[in-house]
Amino acid sequence: MTSQPTWMRRDIDATPDACAELLRGLAACLPEIATALRAAAPRFAIVCGRGSSGHAGTYLRYLLGLRAGLVAAEASPSIVTVHGAAPAMADALFVLLSQSGRSPDLVATAAAARAAGATTLAIVNDPQSPAARTCDHVLPILAGHEHAVAATKTVVNTLVAAAALVAALGADGALRRAVEDQPARLAAARAMTWDAWSDSLVRAPTAYVLARGPALAIAQELALKLGECVGLPALAYSTAEFRHGPRAALARGMPVLVLRSDDASAEDTDALTAELRGSGHDVFVAGPDLPCPPPSDPLLDPVALLVPAYGAIERAARRRGRDPDAPPGLSKVTRTL
């Protein structure tokens, strides 16, 4: 492995500072946005994103339901862009999440939502992007330039921005304080390594990442990065969904990463972990097996796990002879129709 840090590694290391910059920016714009969204009084939410931003959308949907009392659905852009339908979205909050804000299908779906009467919000890294110009409100994630193709610090900032938005909408002081703690937690996580899990990936034919609730979004993101950077097909499931069929495909030599949340799902997650270990599978649990910051707020705790997990993935990619900065067939800005 080369001793020269990859751009992916440098972006990972920049995450705490990027998050601190985000919090400074939120102080200036979030109160006005939250006031406008509350005044709109949406009855439900529609969340739109692809790739890593889509996983951030999964996280946002959980938080909107848990802390803002809003039923949140995932958008299907092809309904608008391929099939030409115009779903009824009056009285909805439509949230577009995108790092670049340039994918035509996301922009077109946001435009259709606005035309149908939804209140639209773009959570983007580029506040001058087409997505930002299409929406009523813009929440910049302020992550700065990201050099590697694989998104890292932009993903973390999008997740933190989503949590800050929900805290503001619900006047949730506990969640707001947890958001404010994120730069320090991310800095602590940056010093942690998940070498045992990383080593297990080097010769694995595939891998699983399991979680429950908001942490499922983190599992989905890590599975994407395993495919993108390591070239390793990976599957992410909720611990509940895993039992409904996917469990049968798990074989020896397929490492399982479990993102255990310190909440009501913990007992069930522990039972599944014990079952898998009893069957001889390689299971790595964030916390007991892999270091992570002490529990704080269970809604935000999974976000900090991305930092050591990204580092483990970057390391595994290099050990498998791949360049994590330039995954084959991919580019930094992805445009879909």
Q: Are 52 and 84 in the same domain? A: yes
Q: How many CB atoms lie within 10 A of CB 151?
A: 27
* Shared-domain flag, residues 97 and 117: yes
Number of domains forming the structure of the chain:
2
Question: Judging by beta carbons within 10 Å of its beta carbon (0-12, 13-18, 19+), is residue 40 exposed, middle or buried?
Answer: middle
- Mark 194-218 as b/e (b = at least 16 C-beta within 10 Å): beebbebbeebebbbbbbbbbbbbb
Residue with the two structure tokens 């435009």 = 111
Same domain, 131 and 20: yes
pLDDT digits (tens, 9 = 90+) for 4-61: 899 999 999 999 999 999 999 999 999 999 999 999 999 999 999 999 999 999 999 9
DSSP-derived letter for residue 295 is P
221 and 249, same domain (yes or no): yes
Helix (H) or strand (E) holding 210: strand 207-211
Asked if residue 268 is part of any domain, the answer here is yes
Segment 131-157 mean pLDDT: 95
Q: Confirm whether 170 is domain-assigned.
A: yes
| Cβ 149 vs Cβ 10: under 8 Å | no
Binning pLDDT at 50, 70 and 90, where does residue 1 land?
A: very low
Mean pLDDT of 201-230: 97
Confidence of residue 147 (pLDDT cuts 50, 70, 90): confident
Domain membership flag for residue 1: no
Q: Tens of pLDDT along 270-297? A: 999 999 999 999 999 999 999 999 999 9
From the CB of residue 272, how many other CB atoms can be counted at a distance below 10 Å?
20
Q: Report which of residues 26 and 331 the model is more confident about.
A: 26
d(CA 311, CA 302): 15
Q: Are 18 and 313 in contact (CB under 8 A)?
A: no
Residue 69, domain CATH: 3.40.50.10490
Q: Is residue 336 part of a domain?
A: no
**20 and 89, same domain (yes or no):** yes
Query: Is 50 exceeded by the pLDDT of residue 118?
Result: yes
Does 179 share its domain with 233? no
- Across residues 108-129, what is the average pLDDT? 96
Q: How many CB atoms lie within 10 A of CB 235?
A: 20
Half-sphere exposure of residue 256, counting CA atoms within 13 Å on the CB side? 26
Q: Are residues 20 and 169 in the same domain?
A: yes
pLDDT at 208 over 90: yes
Q: Are the C-beta atoms of 5 and 162 separated by less than 8 Å?
A: no
Band (327; pLDDT cuts 50, 70, 90): confident
Q: Which of 166, 187, 208 is the last residue of a domain?
A: 187
In the chain, the N- to C-terminal Cα span, in Å, equals 38
Dist CA 10 CA 231 (whole Å): 21
Q: Of 160, 187, 214, at which residue does a domain stop? A: 187
Q: What is the pTM of this model?
A: 0.95
For 315, the domain range is 192-319
Residues 75 and 126 in one domain: yes
- Average pLDDT, integer, range 215-232: 97
Residue 75 lies in a domain: yes
Mean pLDDT of 70-87: 94
Q: Are residue 78 and residue 137 in the same domain, yes or no?
A: yes
Which pLDDT value is given to residue 328?
80
Residue 329 in domain = no
pLDDT, one tens digit per residue, over 239-272 is: 999 999 999 999 999 999 999 999 999 999 999 9
- Name the least confident of 210-219, 279-288, 305-314, 320-329: 320-329
Tell the burial category of 10 from Cβ atoms under 10 Å away from its Cβ (0-12, 13-18, 19+): middle
326 occurs within a structural domain: no
Whether residue 329 is predicted with pLDDT greater than 80 in this model: the reply is no
What mean pLDDT value characterizes the chain? 94
Within this chain, do residues 106 and 222 fall inside the same structural domain, yes or no?
no
> 226 near 234, Cβ under 8 Å?
yes
Check whether residue 259 and residue 171 sit in a common domain. Answer: no
208 and 231 share one domain:
yes
